[in-house]
Amino acid sequence: MSEDKESLIIDPKDLAEHLNRGSSMLHFAMADREYTGQPQTCEGDRGKVEVHGVTFRDVYDCIALAFGRTSGLPEEQWMSREIYAIDVDIDPIALCQNACVLLRERMRNKGIDVPEPESVERFIQQFKDELEAADEESDEGGKNEQ
């Protein structure tokens, strides 16, 4: 067996560590894994929200549009091209994240209530509070300089 093929074989002692890596293909294949990510991500509480009311074509469209969005090109450049003409390196995790965002938007556009888990609402509120506090600090800093 060549060295390349040998490097693809996982030692059973290392299997648990390999499965817990967020970018491992085995990790994604485990549908019953826990939601251990940050609450606002698909690996966290937001990932627990069930998808319903969309078609397979909706999912397909969202993945294709996520490919364009993830390309890093301005929308007017990728939207007018064939998908095969987008010749850039794509971050696969960013592609998945963009597809999920687009799917949530598609569901909402169809009038489907897509609830945010309470932990996500708290995370968003905490983020807004931190931004507001930072704005107030910068405002006070400007007043002190005058």
More confident residue, 61 or 41: 61
Whether 137 is in a domain gets the answer no
> What predicted TM-score, i.e. pTM, was given to this entire model?
0.64
The answer for residues whose C-beta is within 8 angstroms of residue 73's C-beta and 6 or more apart is 86, 88
Whether 120 is in a domain gets the answer yes
Whether 79 is in a domain gets the answer yes
pLDDT in tens, 45-101: 888 888 889 999 999 999 999 999 998 888 888 887 788 888 788 898 899 999 999
What domain count does the chain have?
A: 1
Q: How far is CA 132 from CA 29, 36, 38, 123, in A?
A: 40, 28, 22, 14
- Average pLDDT (119-132) is 82
Please compute, for residue 77, the number of CA atoms within 13 A of its CA located in the half-sphere on the CB side: 11
Whether 2 is in a domain gets the answer no
| Domain span holding position 40 | 11-130
Whether 58 is in a domain gets the answer yes
Whether 76 is in a domain gets the answer yes
